[in-house]
C-alpha cells in the first residue's frame, strides 16, 4: 500500500506535458466503496415454521463485531442470498424508507450515510434482531457520551506513545466563522496519523505575534517540547512573528509555514503581471457575461456538448487556471458559437456587452496569452495539488516538485529565458526567503524515491547543509549528533 501511495504522489510531481491535457481531469470518476446490503432473516417456504433463534450471553462472545462484519462484506464483495429474495427486497426498501424519514425529520445531512459508523450502526441493529429498543435521550446525552469520550482518550494513548518515540507536528488551521470570530483548529500529526486536539476562539490572540506565540506555546507545553519537531501555521504576519519567537525561545523545534498558502501567494504574485492580469480579467468578463444570461448558457451547452467553462477549486488562482484551461480546450467551439447564425441573429449580439465578449473571443492575443499562462500556472498548480492533498505527507516531495515545476516551465518555453525570467524571480523570492526550510531538505534526503535515484545527493550542498542544520537543532547531545 505504501508503494502504491508513493507512486500516486510521484504522479503529481510536475513533468513537462502538453498544455491541452495538463491537470485536466474532468472525465475522472470518483471511486465509491461497494457497501453490502444488510439482509435480515426470512420465513422459509416450508410449511414447518422454525422458531426464531433466541440469542443468549454466548452470542456476546462469539458473534462477529458489527465493524468487522461490514469490513468483511466490503472485502469479499459477496451478496448474501436468501430463500425469498423478493420479500427481502421489499423489507429492505421499507427499512431504508424509515431510516430516510428519520433523517428528514432530524435534518441530518445526506452525506451522513457515507460515514463508516453509519453502516456499523445498521449492522449492529440487524445483529440484535426484532424488538430493539432505541437509546433514550438521557442515555445518548450522559452515559453513552461519557463512554465515547473515555474511549477516545484511551485511543489517544497510542498516539502519545508514538509522539514520544518519533516526534510530531502541531498544525494550526485558522478560519473565520459567520460571526467573524477567528477560530483555530489544532491538530497533531505523526507517522501514525493526524489527531484533532482542540478548536480555540483566537479572536484576542490573532491580533499580535506575541499573543499568537503564547497560544502556540501553550500547546507545545501540553504535548511536551521534546516531542514536537515543528509547528505549522499559515503565513499571516502575526503567525510569522510567532514562528520566529518559537524558534528563538524553543531551540529544538522548527516553525514551518503552510506550503499550500505560499504557493497560492506565488500564483497571486504572478497574476499581477500586466499581461497575465489583463488576460484573466478578460476571461472573468467572458464567464460573467455567459453565465448571467440563461439563453447564452443554453447556447454554450449546445456548442460544447454540455461542458462548463468554470472549474471550481479551493484556491482562487487554481480556479483561474482550470477555467482558462477549459476555455482553451473549447476554443474552437466558442468561436463557432460566436460566429454562428444563432448568435449573430440574437438580441445579445446587438448589445454593447455582447459585442465586447465577441471581440474577446476573436482576439488572437487573448488565446496566445492563455497558452502562456497555462504553461506557467500548470506546473505550480500541480505542486499545489500535491501539498494540499491529505492522502500522504508531501514534505518529502516538495523540494523535488518545485525543481521539476521550474524545469517543466523552462522546457515548455524551449529554454527561452526571456519568456520566464520574471516568473522565476517571483518563485525564487517566495521559495528561498520564506517557504523553503531545512526540514524540506532533510525529508528529501531521507526519501528513498530520491536518495537512491540521485547518486550525487551527498554532493548537493543545499541538501546536506539542511541535513546538518536539522541534526544540530533537533538532537541536543553533541555525541548523538556525531553519530
Helices 294-304 and 274-292: crossing angle, nearest 10°? 110
pLDDT value at position 54? Answer: 57
Please give the span between the terminal C-alpha atoms of the chain, in angstroms, as a whole number: 32
- Determine the pLDDT at residue 45: 41
Give, for 255, the enclosing helix (H) or strand (E): strand 254-257
Please give the average per-residue pLDDT across 407-412, as a whole number: 92
How far is CA 240 from each of CA 99, 206, 245, 385, 404, rounded to the nearest angstrom?
49, 12, 9, 24, 27
What average pLDDT does the segment 305-319 reach? Answer: 71
Banded model confidence at residue 375, pLDDT cuts 50, 70, 90:
very high
Mean pLDDT of 416-433: 88
Contact 10, 449 (CB under 8 A): yes
> What confidence tier does 29 reach under pLDDT thresholds 50, 70, 90?
very low
**Sign of the torsion angle spanned by Cα atoms 456, 457, 461, 462:** positive
Lowest mean pLDDT among 1-10, 180-189, 199-208, 412-421: 1-10
Q: What was the pLDDT predicted at 89? A: 84
Cell of 216: 502556540
Concatenated DSSP letters of 357-405: HHHHHT-HHHHHHHHHHHHHHHHHHHHHHHHT-SSS--HHHHHHHHHHH
Kindly give, in sequence order, each residue whose CB lies less than 8 Å from that of residue 465, ignoring residues fewer than 6 positions away.
438, 441
Contacts of 173 (CB under 8 A, 6+ apart): 184, 185, 187, 234
Domain positions in the chain are: 81-133, 163-257, 265-436
Q: Is 185 exposed, middle or buried (0-12, 13-18, 19+ CB in 10 A)?
A: middle
> Who has greater pLDDT, 283 or 53?
283
Q: Decide: 447 and 397 in contact? Cβ < 8 Å.
A: yes
Residue 13 burial class via C-beta count within 10 angstroms: exposed 0-12, middle 13-18, buried 19 and up? buried
- Res. 360 pLDDT band, cuts 50 70 90: very high
Q: Mark residue 308 as left, alpha or beta (left: phi above 0; alpha: psi -120 to 50; beta: remaining).
A: beta
Q: How far is CA 177 from CA 77, 181, 185, 427, in A?
A: 42, 6, 12, 32
The CA distance from 252 to 79, in Å, is 55
For residue 64, the model assigns a pLDDT of: 60
So what's the pLDDT on residue 276?
92
pLDDT of 38 = 30
Label the pairing between strands 168-176 and 182-190.
antiparallel
Q: What is the H or E stretch that residue 182 is in?
A: strand 182-190
Average pLDDT estimate for 43-69: 53
Q: Report pLDDT digits (tens) over 147-176.
A: 999 998 888 888 998 999 989 999 998 888
Does position 12 have pLDDT exceeding 50, yes or no?
A: yes
Under a CB-based contact definition with an 8 Å cutoff, are residues 324 and 373 in contact? yes
Strand partners of residue 201: 183
* Greater model confidence, 370 or 179: 370
Q: What's the pLDDT score for residue 39?
A: 31
Residue 118 has pLDDT above 70, yes or no: yes
Class of domain 163-257: alpha beta
Give the pLDDT confidence score for residue 19 in this predicted structure: 46
Beta bridge partners of 193: 190
Q: Which pLDDT band holds residue 221 (cuts at 50, 70, 90)? A: very high
* Interval 286-299 mean pLDDT: 87
Across the range 89-97, mean pLDDT stands at: 89
Q: Is the CA virtual torsion 159, 163, 168, 173 positive or negative?
A: positive
**Residue 95 · residue 122 · CB < 8 Å:** no
**How far is residue 448's CA from residue 437's CA, in Å, rounded to a whole number?**
20
Per-residue pLDDT at 57:
52
Enumerate residues 6+ apart whose C-beta is below 8 A from 323: 283, 287, 309, 310, 311
* pTM of this structure: 0.66
Distance CA 454, CA 448 (A): 10
Instruction: Please check whether residue 182 is in contact with residue 192, taking contact to mean a CB–CB distance below 8 angstroms.
Output: no
10 Å Cβ neighbour count for 239? Answer: 25
Amino acid at each position: 500500500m505504501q508503494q502504491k501511495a508513493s507512486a500516486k504522489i510521484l504522479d503529481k510531481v510536475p513533468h513537462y506535458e502538453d498544455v491541452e491535457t495538463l491537470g485536466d481531469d474532468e472525465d475522472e470518476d470518483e471511486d465509491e466503496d461497494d457497501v453490502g446490503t444488510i439482509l435480515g432473516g426470512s420465513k422459509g417456504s416450508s410449511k414447518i415454521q422454525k422458531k426464531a433463534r433466541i440469542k443468549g450471553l454466548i452470542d456476546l462472545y462469539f458473534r462477529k463485531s458489527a465493524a468487522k462484519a461490514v469490513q468483511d462484506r466490503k472485502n469479499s464483495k459477496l451478496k448474501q442470498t436468501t430463500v425469498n429474495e423478493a420479500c427481502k427486497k421489499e423489507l429492505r426498501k421499507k427499512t431504508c424508507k424509515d431510516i430516510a424519514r428519520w433523517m428528514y425529520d432530524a435534518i441530518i445531512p445526506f452525506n451522513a450515510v457515507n460515514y463508516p459508523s453509519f453502516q456499523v450502526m445498521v449492522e449492529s441493529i440487524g445483529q440484535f434482531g426484532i424488538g430493539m429498543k432505541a437509546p433514550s435521550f438521557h442515555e445518548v446525552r450522559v452515559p453513552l457520551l461519557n463512554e465515547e469520550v473515555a474511549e477516545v482518550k484511551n485511543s489517544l494513548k497510542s498516539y502519545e506513545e508514538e509522539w514520544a518515540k518519533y516526534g510530531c507536528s502541531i498544525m494550526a488551521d485558522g478560519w473565520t466563522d459567520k460571526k467573524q470570530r477567528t477560530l483555530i483548529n489544532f491538530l497533531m500529526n505523526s507517522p501514525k496519523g493526524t489527531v484533532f486536539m482542540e478548536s480555540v476562539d483566537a479572536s484576542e490572540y490573532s491580533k499580535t505575534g506575541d499573543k499568537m506565540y503564547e497560544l502556540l506555546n501553550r500547546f507545545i507545553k501540553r504535548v511536551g517540547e521534546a516531542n514536537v519537531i515543528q509547528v505549522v501555521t499559515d503565513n499571516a504576519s502575526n503567525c510569522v512573528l510567532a514562528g520566529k519567537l518559537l524558534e528563538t525561545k524553543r531551540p529544538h523545534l522548527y516553525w514551518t509555514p503552510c506550503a499550500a498558502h505560499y504557493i497560492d501567494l506565488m500564483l497571486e504574485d504572478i497574476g499581477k503581471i500586466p499581461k497575465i492580469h489583463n488576460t484573466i480579467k478578460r476571461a472573468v468578463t467572458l464567464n460573467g457575461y455567459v453565465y448571467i444570461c440563461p439563453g447564452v448558457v443554453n447556447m454554450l451547452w449546445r456548442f460544447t456538448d454540455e461542458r462548463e467553462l468554470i472549474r471550481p477549486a479551493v484556491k482562487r488562482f487554481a480556479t483561474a487556471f482550470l477555467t482558462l484551461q477549459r476555455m482553451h480546450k473549447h476554443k474552437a467551439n466558442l468561436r463557432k458559437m460566436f460566429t454562428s447564425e444563432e448568435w449573430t441573429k440574437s438580441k445579445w449580439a446587438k448589445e454593447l456587452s455582447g459585442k465586447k465578449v465577441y471581440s474577446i473571443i476573436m482576439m488572437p492575443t487573448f488565446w496566445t496569452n492563455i497558452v502562456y499562462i497555462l504553461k506557467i500556472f500548470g506546473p505550480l498548480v500541480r505542486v499545489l495539488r500535491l501539498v494540499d492533498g491529505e492522502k500522504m505527507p508531501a514534505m518529502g516531495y516538495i523540494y523535488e516538485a518545485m525543481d521539476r515545476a521550474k524545469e517543466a516551465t523552462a522546457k515548455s518555453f524551449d529554454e527561452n529565458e526571456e519568456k520566464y525570467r520574471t516568473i522565476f524571480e517571483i518563485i525564487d523570492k517566495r521559495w528561498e526567503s520564506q517557504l523553503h526550510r531545512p526540514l524540506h531538505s532533510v525529508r528529501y534526503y531521507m526519501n528513498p524515491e530520491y536518495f537512491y535515484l540521485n547518486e550525487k545527493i551527498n554532493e548537493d550542498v543545499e541538501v546536506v547543509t539542511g541535513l546538518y542544520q536539522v541534526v544540530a537543532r533537533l538532537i541536543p547531545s553533541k555525541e548523538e549528533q556525531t553519530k
